[in-house]
């Protein structure tokens, strides 16, 4: 919900770079946790040989859901990074035009 609200605000031309960085930090920490979790990404790669996790929407094994969550976090991090880039660019354009 955090990223959705920030994206909605960005669509309305309201940018919050510090909140983007905060979200990136929190999501990155959680993604690192998901990599090393008992049913996380490493488990999926090593023990389950990176088998298909997108075959069905029903997560029949815990490592499927954990791996999907990791990739979802990567998407959220990328979205916030794009929002941050746009916010910084808009701010620099505003400063150049204001001079």
Instruction: Read off the pTM.
Output: 0.78
17, pLDDT greater than 90: yes
- Per-residue DSSP letters for 43-96? HHHHTSTT--SSS-SS--SHHHHHHHHHHHHHHHHHHHHHHHHHHHHHHHHHHH
Q: What is the pLDDT of residues 32-70, one digit of tens each?
A: 998 887 777 777 666 665 566 566 556 566 666 777 888
What's the mean pLDDT when you consider all of the chain? 83
Domain parsing of the chain, residue ranges:
2-93
pLDDT score, position 10: 94
Between 56 and 30, the more confident residue is 30
Sequence-separated (6 or more) residues with CB below 8 Å from residue 66: 34, 37, 39, 40, 41, 43, 44
Range 57-85 average pLDDT: 83
């Amino acid at each position: 919900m955090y990223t959705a609200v920030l994206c909605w605000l960005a669509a309305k031309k309201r940018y919050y770079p510090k909140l983007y960085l905060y979200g990136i930090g929190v999501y990155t920490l959680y993604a690192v946790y998901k990599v090393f979790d008992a049913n996380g990404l490493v488990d999926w790669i090593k023990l389950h040989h990176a088998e298909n996790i997108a075959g069905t929407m029903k997560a029949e094994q815990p490592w499927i859901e954990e791996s999907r969550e990791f990739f979802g976090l990567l998407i959220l991090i990328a979205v916030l990074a794009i929002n941050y880039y746009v916010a910084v660019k808009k701010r620099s354009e505003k400063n150049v035009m204001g001079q």
